[in-house]
Amino acid sequence: MIQFPRIQIAYSVLWIIGNLALPAAAQVTKDELDAAKYALELRIAQVAGDALVAQREAEARQARLEAERAALLAQLPAANVRALAGSVETRQFGAAGLVRAFDLAQQLAQELCAALPAGERVVLYDPLASQGVLAARTVHDTLVRMGDDMARRNKELQAYVDAHTPPGAVLGTLSTALTVVPALLRAGADTASLFKTDAGAAGLAYGDGARDLFASALAASCPQQLAGLGSGYLGELDTVQHERLLGRLRALAVHRADYANRIAQLQKLADAAKGEEKKELATVAAAAGAALKAVDAFIDSLKAGETGERSPLYNAARYLGYANRTAGAAVLDFDLRLEGMSIVRDSLFTGQTLRLSGVALLWYRVHAPDGSLRMANTLRRIGKPVEVDLKGDAAGGAFWNSP
């Protein structure tokens, strides 16, 4: 609604009333009254028109100011501070924050090395490496036990054959002993078959490589105290353990060949014998043949002719060497989480700035080889944000002109 200037209207009304209040000597006629009324209406219309023009000019000025403000704001970048997720796949500068997390990992490694028992060697706990060591010991023990057992059985079977070359030999005790051998040897072959699955073939992803990073940082901080890292290269290129196992396997193969020859001799005696003696000789030969098959199954399961992680003999040599190097060492078990944080800020006058920070959370436990707890602790570190200059150095002419 239009607001009329009250002062101007009031003056106009007072002027008309003053004219009407003149002395009666000059009586107001109807024409004069109409003229005064017309002048008042004209004045009111004039004042209203001036007010309408003033209002439209004010609205135009306001609209122009708002348009100029909107145009200016559109040219300014939005100022914000946003913390990016601490992973390698973050957008913009998310990966750069891992640099600060890397520094925290090295700092924690130095602190952990200082906290370890002085002068005592430790090995990093790895479930896969532990499983491989146990399986390797099983294969080695089975090779030793089978070799010793086959040597003893060879002597007994040879004595049995010699005793039955002349008539009238007693064979009850030896026959009973031979019937027990296949069950024992078959159990050893089944144990070796469990080792066919390579314990070290697959690695466990642990915090985007944070565990391997921290293990390397520990090795750099206190290499003399670490007996083993639990993963990676375990000494498979060292031929000492491999030759030892091959020597055990060759000895078992020699005993196996001698045993097979004696079984053939026993079978000839059974073919020439008659009656109860023929039955007895056939039973002993069958029991010895079953034991021989169990030994063959175990030797085949080792895949000594193959190289690489598919061969249980190769894995046994690999983990036996690791077990010998880490024997008697304390076990260090830990869990580490590293996250990098990038803070980006845009400013109209200073441009884009980048600040990097990181967070590290660590728990660790040190066990004796028998499993008893020696020490434990939890640590956390937050890196102070570091500002990075994003301008860098200007590219020279060689950058643009080089082929």
Residues 213-272: tens digit of each pLDDT: 899 999 999 999 998 888 778 877 777 888 888 888 889 889 989 988 988 888 888 888
Alpha helices in 76-171 (DSSP H): 98-115, 127-164
Q: How many CB atoms lie within 10 A of CB 69?
A: 10
In this structure, of 244-258, 274-288, 340-354, 366-380, the range with the lowest mean pLDDT score is: 340-354
Residue 340: pLDDT over 70: yes
Round to whole Å and give the CA distance between 253 and 251. Answer: 5
Per-residue tokens: 157 = 């079977």
Q: What is the pLDDT of residue 11?
A: 56
Q: Which pair of tokens denotes residue 326?
A: 């880490």
Residue from 212, 232, 220, 228 nearest 107 by CA: 220
pLDDT in tens, 15-46: 555 555 545 445 668 777 777 777 777 777 77
What six digits make up the tokens of 116?
């370890």
Residues 253 and 234 sit within 8 Å (Cβ to Cβ): no
How far is it, in rounded angstroms, from Cα 339 to Cα 94? 10
C-beta of residue 289 within 8 angstroms of C-beta of residue 178: no
Residue 299 near residue 249 (C-beta atoms within 8 A) = yes
- The answer to whether 240 and 321 are in contact (CB under 8 A) is yes
Q: Are 382 and 343 in contact (CB under 8 A)?
A: no
Confidence of residue 294 (pLDDT cuts 50, 70, 90): confident
In the three-class reduction of DSSP (H, G, I as helix; E, B as strand; rest coil), residue 361 is classed as: strand
CA distances from residue 181 to 187, 284, 299, 315 in whole angstroms, order as listed: 10, 11, 16, 27
Cα distances (Å, whole numbers) of residue 100 to 219, 224, 355, 358, 391:
20, 27, 10, 5, 20
Whether 374 contacts 115, CB under 8 Å: no
Q: pLDDT category, 61, cuts 50, 70, 90?
A: confident
DSSP 8-state assignment for residue 364: E
Residue 44: strand, helix, or coil: helix
3-state secondary structure of 296: helix
> At residue 390, does pLDDT exceed 80?
no
How large is the C-alpha radius of gyration of the chain?
49
Q: Which secondary-structure segment (H or E) carries 220? A: helix 210-221
The residues, any chain, with a CB within 8 Å of residue 24's CB and separated by 6 or more, are none
HSE-CB at 396 with a 13 A cutoff on CA atoms is: 2
User: Is the CA virtual torsion 319, 321, 327, 329 positive or negative?
Assistant: negative
Task: Return the sign of the alpha-carbon dihedral for residues 178, 179, 183, 189.
Answer: positive
The span from the CA of 319 to the CA of 134, in Å, is 9
The pTM of the full predicted model, rounded to 2 decimals, is 0.58
- Across 66-95, average pLDDT: 54
